[in-house]
Amino acid sequence: MQFSANLGFLWNDLPLPDAIRAAAQAGFDAVECHWPYDTPAGQTSLALEEAGLAMLGLNTSRGKTGENGLSALPGRVAEARAAIDRAVEYAVAIRAQSVHVMAGVASGPEAHDTFCCNLQYACARAAPHGLTILIEPLNIRDAPGYFLRTAQQAADIIQNLGLSELRLMFDCYHQQITGGDICCTFERLLPIIGHVQIASVPARSRPDEGELDYSYVLARIGALGWSRPVGAEYRARSLTEHTLGWLPTYRAIPVRPSPQANA
């Protein structure tokens, strides 16, 4: 099985280009990030080329201090679309594969309609570049009030919009807190999943700790044919290099290639 280092959490004490190089040296197969915008795209692209890694994805802006995205906020459409434009442009410049459109703190039918309209806009912007647009449910403990709360809510939006560019970010950490039933939920939603992330529960630390047995979970995911890199999005309690004891073990988990899992 392959793994991607989420540089929003791992090596986040380093400038982004140095973090990319550190991930390559540690043996990761790819990288992903949250908000790379303070680093010129040219520097990021050069580091990726030197490291021989792909950037799987990045996030749209969180917005103002204390906000957690803009795209479901009624009355903030212009700002949300400017954030989408910026994310798509940066992703294209560094040859990233996806953009995670952050919904923000909102609720109700107007927020739902606003989010869907902005997702249509994001997919239209992404389509000419072959980019995937991801949406991710966040648990209410870590992200109280976040619009997108459950995998089913996200699945309903994806299925109702019917846009080929739009997919689900399946974060096992958030799913375990929100609804559990990781493996069955993953299998049911596999046709619309665009990326997978892992971290321990409840501490969101290295994945070989806590209540989730990722040796089992990842073996099930691999048996279903998931052969893309799985994102390691966890908080390192010490130097990142000292938290990677899980990586060789999980890399040895076999994967059964499946066109459905990687479409």
> Which residues form the catalytic set?
136, 233
Non-local (6+) Cβ contacts of 199 within 8 A are 171, 172, 173, 205, 206, 207, 232, 233, 234, 235
Q: Using an 8 Å Cβ cutoff, are 209 and 184 in contact?
A: no
Based on C-alpha coordinates, what's the Rg of the chain? 17
Give me 27's structure tokens: 């043996």
Host H or E run for residue 144: none
Sign of the Cα pseudo-torsion (132, 116, 88, 29, in order)? negative
Read off the DSSP letter of residue 131.
P
Q: How many CB atoms lie within 10 A of CB 48?
A: 22
| Cα 206 to Cα 24, 142, 221, 242, distances in angstroms | 18, 17, 19, 10
Distance of alpha carbon 194 from alpha carbon 129, whole angstroms: 16
Give me 139's structure tokens: 């648990």
Burial class (CB in 10 A: 0-12, 13-18, 19+), 170: buried
Looking at residue 165, its amino acid is: E
Q: Is the peptide bond before 207 cis (omega within 30 degrees of 0)?
A: no
